[in-house]
Amino acid sequence: MRDDARPTLLAVSGGADSCALAFALAKRPGVKCIGHVVHDMRPQDEAEADRQLVEELGQLLDLPVYVRYVEVGPGNAEASARQHRYAALAKLAADGGCRYVAVAHHADDVLETVLANLIRGAGPRGLRGPAPRRALDENTMLVRPMLHITRAHAEAICQAAEWEWAHDATNDDPDTGDAPLRAAIRARVLPVMEGLRPGAAMRASRAADAFRHAVHVVELAVSDAWPDIVTEQGGALVLDRSAYATCPEAVREGLLRRALVHFGDQGHDRLSAATARSLASWIVAGRGSRTAAGLHLEHTHDGVAVSRT
């Protein structure tokens, strides 16, 4: 698509990464505005200082700045903040007449995500890292154009522009913040990896791409296998056990995730690799019934009935 066919809002927090994104893309014809989200997870004076910095950057780059305030609320603060931030960015994009929102996730973020998911025991889906693009809502697409450059590259862009970015000290302390595992990886693990093998983040970003392509191939195989293996009977799904058993393990697990989607569960990624593997093995060899990950499975004469719990 031509630049002018994809009107874009740049999501800028005030940190080096998003400021670099703004400097790099501000003059592209499709870039229309900057969006900044202020949430209540940081001291008010710091949050307002970041807002002022972003507005100054907008003036420098001759781009309008749209600001939205959100309250994160109780629960998982990290997940809630992310959800509120993306919802706010979608609304800001609508305010600015934009169909795309560009964010500044970079190769170091990819490596942090991959390592965190690896430690949690994720399968290939969890090792894909952040997607280059995904829908925010029915009208707005999120894009990540910086996945193949590093945090150091972003800082170099700001330095070349003689721009002093905002610094969030909580990102440096592995014992504070709302994502302690990621903070610990950033502070303690990534420097060691970079010392052992410079360029680790860039290689991790390319490896994540390879996992993403592999997962896409599996998803295509799942789509091909679904009509031959799965039938709908009275609100339940019935798997042909013999045909299911002939599928590769990755396809068996993918069929279970698709079953969750069929029942309307958009959180199908919560089906962990270990649980999916265990359920797939049980379908092939087990008897009786089993409930896990929001699914109830029961062996019948020649198949397995799957229903939502």
Give the Cα separation of 304 and 296 in Å (integer).
10
DSSP 5: G
Report the CATH number that the domain containing residue 177 is assigned in CATH. Answer: 3.40.50.620
Do 190 and 133 fall into the same domain? yes
Q: Is residue 205 situated within a structural domain? A: no
Q: What is the pLDDT of residues 59-113, one digit of tens each?
A: 999 999 999 998 876 555 677 778 889 999 999 999 999 999 999 999 999 999 9
Long-range Cβ contact pairs of 213-218 (< 8 A, separation 24 or more): 214/124, 215/124, 215/125, 215/128, 218/124, 218/250, 218/251, 218/254
Write the pLDDT tens digit of every residue in 171-198.
665 555 446 888 899 999 999 999 999 9
The CATH number for 257's domain is 1.20.59
How many domains are there within the chain?
A: 2
Q: How confident is the model at residue 267 (pLDDT cuts 50, 70, 90)?
A: low
Q: Which residues contact 75 (CB under 8 A, 6 or more apart)?
A: none
Residue 212 domain flag: no
Which residue is associated with the tokens 């800001």? 92
Domain that residue 88 falls in: 3-196
Q: By the 8 A CB rule, do 216 and 250 touch?
A: no
The continuous run of DSSP H or E covering 156 comes out as helix 151-160
Tens digit of each residue's pLDDT (9 = 90 or more) over 143-163: 999 999 999 999 999 999 999
What is the structure's pLDDT at 74? 59
Of all helices (H) and strands (E), which one includes residue 16? helix 16-25
DSSP 122-142: --GGGGS-S-SEEEEETTEEE
Q: For residues 309 and 299, give the distance between their C-alpha atoms in angstroms, rounded to a whole number.
A: 16
186 and 66 fall within a common domain: yes
Instruction: Identify the CA nearest to 19 among candidates 79, 60, 67, 66.
Output: 60
Residues 270, 182 share a domain: no
Same domain? For 116 and 255 the reply is no
Residue with tokens 């994502």: 179
Check whether residue 248 and residue 181 sit in a common domain. no
Q: What's the whole-model pTM score? A: 0.87
